[in-house]
Amino acid sequence: MTNASHVPVLLDRVVALVAPSLDRPDRERTLMIDATLGLGGHTEAVLERCPQAHVIGIDRDVHALDRSRERLAPYGDRVTFVHAVYDEIADVLDELGHPSVDAVLFDLGVSSMQLDLRERGFAYSQDAPLDMRMDDTGGPTAADVLNEYPVEELTRILKHYGEERFARRIAEAVVRERAKEPFTTSGRLVELLYASIPAPARRTGGHPAKRTFQALRIEVNDELGVLRRAIPAAVDAIGVGGRVVVMSYHSLEDRITKHVFARATRNDLPPDLPFVPEGHEPALRLVTRGSGSEKASPAEIEANPRAASVRLRAVERVHAGAVA
């Protein structure tokens, strides 16, 4: 039986959002980029339910690519696997010879596989090496950040990426403790966080290490910088009728996505005009319900707790041309 942590979030809704772009009676083949392939759950469902679809599966994690290759082997050449970061969409398409695609999907954040593997160091629930690299073939680790960044930089990261109220206190404690011995494992960091965060604050808002671990992970992987480049690149990559679908799991990711989509779906005409003149229509339109983002239902959250924080946004290109 599949563990709940491995159930793809909002699976049916995601497929419903990309299907109109991929099921086209006038086309023999359509193309989707799964920019965060992970274990391949969303791609598997798309390939199963959209027979015309081919998928370019991108992931920076070589271990995830190995796992998804096994899972998606029955679909043969309908899947192309690429080891890359998802802000490299334009380069990937250029290398593969595709001028555009019909859909781009992002399922952001850390994957269940990365959380489950102790040696990756993403989880604060068990003592493990402080790594947190999504691509563990190179680059600085969380231990490098803790042991080398000055107190001002550590404070900034914890405050802005982790939205941690006690950022300065934690940063000063890290600098004080690393002078005695460098940080190497998560257990010692968790102990420091328990000691640094006042008891009343520890009793609210979830595990006291959650915000610090999120901040370190974002810094190590440049997640917000990558996302700021990736969402516009995805918008540029889709042709008319194409869709970009983004699942975010914290407010910082969702804010970036919301900003890019808002810019792509608005025009610069005065708001009191009774109609939009031809040629001034926005290049894209929102396709998610309500105010632009959707949440998981209570039933889905009960079945799959990872869905509790998800925010889903999607746009569709209705006109060719660059986004202002």
Q: List binding-site positions for S-adenosyl-L-methionine.
A: 40-42, 59, 86, 107, 114
Q: Are 56 and 96 in contact (CB under 8 A)?
A: yes
Counting Cα atoms < 13 Å in the Cβ hemisphere of 218 gives: 25
Q: How far apart are CA 124 and CA 206, in angstroms?
A: 12
**Binding-site residues, please?**
40-42, 59, 86, 107, 114
Q: Which residue has the tokens 């520890």?
A: 202
Using alpha carbons, select from 12, 77, 65 the residue that is nearest to residue 34. 65
d(CA 305, CA 7): 10
The answer to whether the beta carbons of residues 320 and 238 sit under 8 Å apart is: no
Q: Which residue has the tokens 């999907």?
A: 105
Pairing of strands 311-317, 238-248: antiparallel
Can you tell me the distance from the alpha carbon of 270 to that of 267, in angstroms, rounded to the nearest whole number? 9
Angstrom CA distances, 203 to 162, 169, 188, 194, 313, stand at: 17, 18, 20, 11, 32
